[in-house]
Structure 1
């Protein structure tokens, strides 16, 4: 049963069931009863009874109900949301609804609460206090849940300044939006608006994308064997060394700096168009301090990543496709120099000959919100014969 069906079923139960009274002293116990329900019907009868009584209690349960909605229990969350909808709908039908407006505002403004519940309450406030949304959203560029809404509002403000010929004011607003942006679409949109008025910003630096690499390959890896096969770079990275590659071809490390605005490395260009092969990318980065960060990466077909010699990520997945931030892993960076080795496997030709064999990777280091952690390239030099 889908979540939508569960919610509909709960709503039907509450609408057609007879009223049951719950005293104020029982509210917390009833909320806790719902909190213990689980898969396979566990606690469902007791949860139904508690929900019926809570619905009949009235608007006074709202503050405690909202607190209970901060749960990872999907079944309990469905019960709570349906109770919320029934209670608020009934109150709105009254001639003089009595909602705890300040409690609702406080709930929406508290980033510790779940985003889904905060948006639900904001929708209610749109009816009760129509001016609240604009005042609230305009201040939320640091709030993970409402950041994109705030940035969209800033962009509209910047556009108005630009249309009025106030270029400096537009630039200040766009720059504020750019610094706050974490979602790739908004980052690119904001950067484009700044570029249009002569202000250049670096998407690469803002997102912590790694674009400078030494690449090596292809090694032969028939039958999707590359993921499990240990090739020389996994034992020692020697940027001056040469190896026997696919079809007996001599291969060596060569420098490659991607020009893709989102940091994607096209390995067909950087190494070669191949099938059933393995390539490596190596770099070194400087971290401004010792810090715990997120590695976010993706590749076509699959990849493994070592940071400072420790394997921090590996995913065996073929016909994968490179997508921004597809995978995330926690990584500890040392203050100063850190080494990064990436292994990227390429599978056989797609069963449809018309589909090209893409081979690519994308990698960045950021904080939990997706912002740069201040790393930058410290790519070591190799002999000129290997540089391309």
Structure 2
């Protein structure tokens, strides 16, 4: 899997750092070295001791260090990000108390959408402390922001304004505006409920881009949970006209379009033998460009997921529950048709809570916004 990285431009980085203080020039070498030490910490926590010492030294520096720390978060791995945030917030707290927290530079960082979303949110929180007027100025313009936390705040504000509107016409307009930025299920549900009372229809499948068009084949044998690692024919070839030996009889691909409001597929209902069994689901996504996306899956069952023949994720766990956007898998799509194969395994537990065998799937950009295949009928041929 490839990871998408946001990189700030060299020109902006130099300009941004210079704005903080002329004193930054004196400390530039030591600050840069210390930040490099922090950035080198491994995802598994290797070099933690070195990072801790570097952070301790960074915390002794002044507000001129805040800019470089924020910029350093752009490409930091999650562990390094945590260390950098610790250093930033310690210095920011000291700077706020001494009246030296640079609100203007923080706002410049927050409003530059090319920066890391989490870093922008950290900067926003401290900007709000330095300049209480900032949230009311900035948040209304963030309904389409690539930072999920900032966009969520914008939707929350739009919801608040919709509730306060007096006329139904104004309410409808404001609820619709809030809906345009909603990518979290709880906010969507609140907005959809309000619009429904106003006589407006909101379709969950369309809004979230849930993929409801699949070819399914099965069941294959998963007795004693032994089939998870068995390579059944769909893992070796995608031939929608083929027939294979299944769990009980010959099986072939069947085309289904989910009619459920949540866009999910109830495999237990669609499959004759639904205990100790495996179904495969196949669809195609025609991407207009090569791009980094997220596959978002919900299922209570064990599963494996392939894209263009490459296994991109697998989880052998049964009956954990099923929640919207339960699993988020970064994927790089090629331009054109991308072939997606999902293996969903059900075990033989007979308790009432262990009967669900289902999945829900969608493809989104890095902000959580739905992406649509440029040719919806590609797998219907």
Contact 1:30 1:50 in 2 (8 A): no
What is the aligned partner in structure 1 of residue 104 from structure 2?
102
What is the aligned partner in structure 1 of residue 137 from structure 2?
135
Q: Distance in 1 between matches of 2:343 and 2:109?
A: 46
Q: Distance in 1 between matches of 2:333 and 2:284?
A: 14
Q: Distance in 2 between matches of 1:237 and 1:49?
A: 57
Deviation for aligned residue 1:148: 0.9
Q: Distance in 2 between matches of 1:282 and 1:68?
A: 41
What is the aligned partner in structure 1 of residue 324 from structure 2?
324
Alignment partner of 1:311 is 2:310: yes
Deviation for aligned residue 1:378: 1.9
Deviation for aligned residue 1:136: 0.9
Contact 2:287 2:334 in 1 (8 A): no
Contact 1:299 1:360 in 2 (8 A): yes
Deviation for aligned residue 1:134: 0.9
Unaligned regions of 5+ residues in structure 2, if any?
1-22, 42-46
Aligned partner of residue 108 in structure 2, secondary structure: helix
User: C-alpha deviations, 1:260-291, integer Å up to 9, x for none?
Assistant: 33322121112146332111223455x37344
Alignment partner of 1:31 is 2:31: yes
What is the aligned partner in structure 2 of residue 4 from structure 1?
none
Greater mean alpha carbon deviation, residues 37-46 or residues 294-303: 37-46
Contact 2:96 2:130 in 1 (8 A): no
Q: Distance in 2 between matches of 1:311 and 1:61?
A: 43
Contact 1:302 1:317 in 2 (8 A): yes
Distance change (3 Å), C-alpha of 1:373 and 1:268: same
Deviation for aligned residue 1:210: 1.1
Alignment partner of 1:85 is 2:84: no
Q: Distance in 1 between matches of 2:102 and 2:113?
A: 19
Q: Distance in 2 between matches of 1:290 and 1:63?
A: 34
What is the aligned partner in structure 1 of residue 158 from structure 2?
154
What is the aligned partner in structure 1 of residue 3 from structure 2?
none
Greater mean alpha carbon deviation, residues 134-143 or residues 187-196: 187-196
Distance change (3 Å), C-alpha of 1:273 and 1:156: farther
Distance change (3 Å), C-alpha of 1:215 and 1:294: same
Deviation for aligned residue 1:50: 5.1
Aligned partner of residue 303 in structure 1, secondary structure: strand
What is the aligned partner in structure 2 of residue 191 from structure 1?
192
Contact 2:299 2:323 in 1 (8 A): yes
Aligned partner of residue 42 in structure 1, secondary structure: helix
Unaligned regions of 5+ residues in structure 1, if any?
1-22, 92-96, 383-388
Query: How many residues matched?
Result: 341
Superposition pairs of residues 54-73 of structure 1, within 5 angstroms: 54=61, 57=62, 59=63, 62-64=66-68, 66-67=70-71, 71-72=76-77, 73=80
Deviation for aligned residue 1:116: 4.3
Question: Considering only CA atoms, is the larger Rg found in Structure 1 or Structure 2?
Answer: 1
Alignment partner of 1:274 is 2:274: yes
Moved over 6 A (4+): none
Aligned partner of residue 300 in structure 1, secondary structure: coil
Q: Distance in 2 between matches of 1:69 and 1:255?
A: 46
Superposition pairs of residues 1-388 of structure 1, within 5 angstroms: 25-35=25-35, 36-37=37-38, 38=41, 39-42=47-50, 44-45=52-53, 48-49=56-57, 51-52=59-60, 54=61, 57=62, 59=63, 62-64=66-68, 66-67=70-71, 71-72=76-77, 73=80, 74-89=82-97, 91=98, 97=99, 99-145=101-147, 146-161=150-165, 164-167=166-169, 169-237=170-238, 239=240, 243-246=244-247, 248-249=248-249, 251-272=251-272, 274-284=274-284, 287=286, 289-292=288-291, 293-307=293-307, 310-319=309-318, 320-325=320-325, 326-332=327-333, 334-335=335-336, 339-349=339-349, 353=351, 355-375=353-373, 377-378=376-377
Q: Distance in 2 between matches of 1:179 and 1:46?
A: 43
Deviation for aligned residue 1:48: 3.4
Distance change (3 Å), C-alpha of 1:175 and 1:312: farther
Greater mean alpha carbon deviation, residues 324-333 or residues 143-152: 324-333
Contact 1:219 1:245 in 2 (8 A): yes
Q: TM-score, normalised by structure 2?
A: 0.75
Distance change (3 Å), C-alpha of 1:178 and 1:312: farther
Q: Distance in 2 between matches of 1:213 and 1:138?
A: 39
Q: Distance in 1 between matches of 2:278 and 2:346?
A: 6
Deviation for aligned residue 1:242: 5.1
Deviation for aligned residue 1:34: 2.8
Q: Distance in 2 between matches of 1:311 and 1:65?
A: 37
Aligned partner of residue 28 in structure 1, secondary structure: helix
Q: Distance in 2 between matches of 1:199 and 1:109?
A: 34
What is the aligned partner in structure 2 of residue 7 from structure 1?
none
Distance change (3 Å), C-alpha of 1:75 and 1:342: closer
Aligned partner of residue 141 in structure 2, secondary structure: coil
Contact 2:283 2:379 in 1 (8 A): yes
